[in-house]
Homo-oligomer: A and B are copies of this chain.
Amino acid sequence: MQKYLVRIKYKGSAYSGYQRQQNAHTVGEEVFRCLKSVFGEVDSLSGCSRTDKGVHALDYAVSFNSERVLPEASVVRAMNANFPGDISAFYCAYVPESFHARYDVISKEYVYKIYNGGTPDPFWKDFSFFYPSALDLGKMNQAAAHLLGTHDFTSFMAAGSKVTDCVRTIYSACFDRDGEVVTFRISGNGFLYKMVRLIVGTLLYVSEGKILPEEIPSILESRVQTNGFAAPPQGLYLNGVTYERE
């Protein structure tokens, strides 16, 4: 029996997220189908994260067991021969039997892309949130700085989630502009349901003057699950997960 770690990227537009579920087209289902073609049978398949419907991944990790031992480069090649065009594998490694793609994650990074041009760009449509008004990146970064460190993030968890331990640590959170594309980069030890999109939505309200940067601490302290504005999924990318052994 060999345990594998495989890293993939996917364009999430056509999928109901990663997590396999009845009556929905998911990335996890495509991964499972692909692994069955390559390995015959696999078990203990796990993905590093649930991602929401329409969210992308630039670096997503899956782990699984197989009786077959294939060279790492062959696994990547064979998986790409079996994946649809919106998913691809780019890395494979043998890992110890105890490894688990989800439970062993020590940090995650997300990016959120805003297309901030004056007119919509067809090439960015599926890959960003089109927001044509001026953005005050200074104020947004001032507000984002209040998220750094360890906090209870209940206020940035979408209504409906049943998670009870909402304490997470954020290592970095910052906006940057490259021409018309504004990228928000956030890393932490874990994220709650829709947390990144709710954070981006709130920081857009900061840019619009609806919320002051210095109000972020009191929003955190209120600890009420929110029905607030979550920035839309097509701008969000899981940008990588880190494991201790790497």
Contacts and interface: CB of A to CB of B under 8 A. Distances in A.
Contact of A121 (B88, B125, B127): B88
A120 B80 contact: yes
A100 interface: no
A214 B161 CA distance: 66
Q: Name A's interface SS.
A: mixed
A207 to B, nearest CB: 22
Interface residues on A, range: 20 to 34
A85 B10 contact: no
A10 B86 contact: no
A123 B11 contact: yes
A147 interface: no
Interface in A1-51: 9-11
A121 B86 CA distance: 8
A12 to B, nearest CB: 9
B76 A90 contact: no
Contacts of A125: 11, 85-86
Interface of A: 9-11, 56, 58, 76, 80, 85-90, 118-123, 125, 127
26 contacts: A9-B121, A9-B122, A9-B123, A10-B122, A11-B122, A11-B123, A11-B125, A56-B123, A58-B123, A76-B119, A80-B119, A80-B120, A85-B120, A85-B122, A85-B125, A86-B122, A86-B125, A87-B122, A88-B119, A88-B120, A88-B121, A88-B122, A89-B119, A90-B118, A90-B119, A123-B127
